[in-house]
Amino acid sequence: MNSATSPATKKGYLTGSTLILLAFATAFFSRIFDSAGAPSAINFLHFFSIPVLCGQVILTAKGLSRYQRTIIAKFYLGLGLLLAVMLTSAIINDAGLINVVLSFLLLGEPFILLLAIACLPIAVERIQKLRTWLVGFFITNIVFAYCQYVLFMILGMHPKAGNPDYVQGVFYHSGAGHVVSASVSLSFGFYYFLMAKSLPIWFRAVVFLGTFWHMLMADAKQVLLSFLVAGVCVLITKLKSLGEAIKYLLGAVVLALVLWWCTQNVPAFAAFNTWARPEIYGPEGEATLLKSAALRIIPTYYESPLNWLFGLGPGHTVGRLGGWMIGGYWNLLAPLGATMHPVPSQVWAAVGQSWLGDQSSMFSPLFGWAGIWGDLGWLGIAAYLYLAFITLQCFCVDDLSKFLVFSVGAFGLVFSQMEEPGYMLTISMFVGLLWQENLLRRANPGAAKKLDRAAAIDLRRPKQLFKTLLLIQ
231 occurs within a structural domain: yes
Most confident of 31-45, 89-103, 175-189, 194-208: 89-103
The answer to whether 195 and 455 are in contact (CB under 8 A) is: yes
Instruction: List pLDDT tens digits, range 164-191.
Output: 678 899 998 877 788 999 999 999 999 9
Question: pTM value?
Answer: 0.89
Q: What is the pLDDT of residue 463?
A: 58
Reported as a pLDDT band with limits 50, 70 and 90, residue 268 is low
| 122-148 confidence digits (pLDDT tens) | 777 777 778 888 988 999 999 999 998
Residue 198 is assigned to a structural domain of this protein: yes
Range with the lowest mean pLDDT among 217-231, 267-281, 397-411? 267-281
pLDDT per residue as tens digits for the range 36-74:
888 888 999 999 999 999 999 999 888 888 888 999 999
- Return the pLDDT at 191: 92
- The reply to whether 156 falls in a domain is yes
Q: How far apart (Å, rounded) are the C-alpha atoms in residues 340 and 344?
A: 9
pLDDT attached to residue 269: 64
Query: 324-359: per-residue pLDDT in tens?
Result: 999 989 999 999 999 999 999 999 999 999 887 777
Is residue 142 a contact partner of residue 169, using CB atoms and an 8 Å limit? Answer: yes
| 188: CB partners within 8 A, 6+ apart | 135, 138, 142, 211, 426
d(CA 312, CA 317): 7
Q: Given a cut of 80, is residue 469 above it in pLDDT?
A: no
pLDDT for 1: 43
Residue 222 burial (CB count, 10 A): 24
pLDDT for 11 beyond 70: no
Tell me how many domains the chain contains.
Answer: 1
Residue 199, pLDDT > 50, answer yes
DSSP category for residue 50: I
| Residues 56, 115 contacting (CB under 8 angstroms) | no
In this prediction, residue 273 carries a pLDDT of 62
Q: Is 318 a member of any domain?
A: no
The whole-number pLDDT of residue 436 equals 87
In this structure, which amino acid lies at residue 87? Answer: L
Does some domain include residue 404? yes
For the segment 430-452, the average pLDDT, to the nearest whole number, is 77
Q: Is 340 helix (H, G, I), strand (E, B) or coil?
A: coil
What is the structure's pLDDT at 13? Answer: 43
Query: Average pLDDT of the chain?
Result: 85
Structural domain containing residue 79 = 7-281+361-469
Quick check: 12 pLDDT over 60?
A: no
Query: Is residue 1, in this structure, part of any structural domain at all?
Result: no
Give the integer Cα–Cα distance in Å for 332 and 361: 27
- Asked whether residue 348 is assigned to any structural domain, the reply reads no
Strands (E), 64-197: none
| Residue 217 predicted with pLDDT over 60 | yes
What does the alpha-carbon distance between residue 298 and residue 292 come to, in Å, rounded to a whole number? 10
Residue 313 has pLDDT above 80, yes or no: yes
Give 109-127 pLDDT, tens digit per residue: 999 999 999 988 877 777 7
